A and B are shown apart, each in its own frame.
Chain A
Amino acid sequence: DAGVTQSPTHLIKTRGQQVTLRCSPKSGHDTVSWYQQALGQGPQFIFQYYEEEERQRGNFPDRFSGHQFPNYSSELNVNALLLGDSALYLCASSRQGYNEQFFGPGTRLTVL
């Protein structure tokens, strides 16, 4: 039973570019949440997707957008990258009605 998978593992971009990160949830899970973790900090909630719709959103600008596909996988898009977007981006999946969220290994984004 595969857990949560994310791709790519690492990514280097320059300021102003756009990036897409991908996440496949754990088998049987239908809800995907995205978190940003800056170095030395706890993860910060970006948004959550369920039934292909954004259901909750944290305090992140519109440059951060997402999508969920019919197979429950999800993408996180960040436009007009800033140096401050450099972080570990974590995807978590859960099942509707259950509170435990299971995390993937993350994508390390570096913006130069």
Chain B
Amino acid sequence: AQKVTQAQTEISVVEKEDVTLDCVYETRDTTYYLFWYKQPPSGELVFLIRRNSFDEQNEISGRYSWNFQKSTSSFNFTITASQVVDSAVYFCALSTLYNQGGKLIFGQGTELSVKP
């Protein structure tokens, strides 16, 4: 079975703090994809990143960085110098079908609140 666990339900930080959102996944497939999406209050899910199971390189995009570790089945997301606009619900997701844009299995989400 495939599963994504985001143990942190809510996180509250003060602006400019760094924050890490945890994601642990389960799958028996050797080929899979991991995603992070941001859901602001408007409701639309905004794609942030995709990582495939064969690429364990960490990635940095501006204030965002992702740490993928197959040994611990984790794909954590760090926001450096958080801003109020980062306040949203963040979802980690897993896809185990390639070439077909396979279904996404989402975690429960982590609600991030960044206070000024």
User: Using a CB–CB distance below 8 Å, which chain A residues touch chain B?
Assistant: 31, 33, 35, 40-45, 48, 50, 55-56, 58, 88, 90, 92, 94-106, 108
Query: Does B64 reach chain A (CB closer than 8 Å)?
Result: no
- B residues at A contact (CB < 8 Å): 4, 33, 35, 37, 42-47, 50, 91, 93, 95, 97-109
Question: Beyond A42-B91, A101-B101, A105-B44: 12 further Cβ-contacts under 8 Å?
Answer: A33-B101, A48-B102, A48-B103, A92-B104, A97-B101, A99-B33, A99-B101, A100-B50, A101-B104, A102-B47, A106-B43, A106-B44
Asked if B50 contacts A99 (CB within 8 A), the reply is: yes
Q: A33: which of B33, B99, B103, B107 is its contact (CB, 8 Å)?
A: B103
Given A100-B50, A103-B44, is A42 in contact with B101 using a C-beta cutoff of 8 Å? no
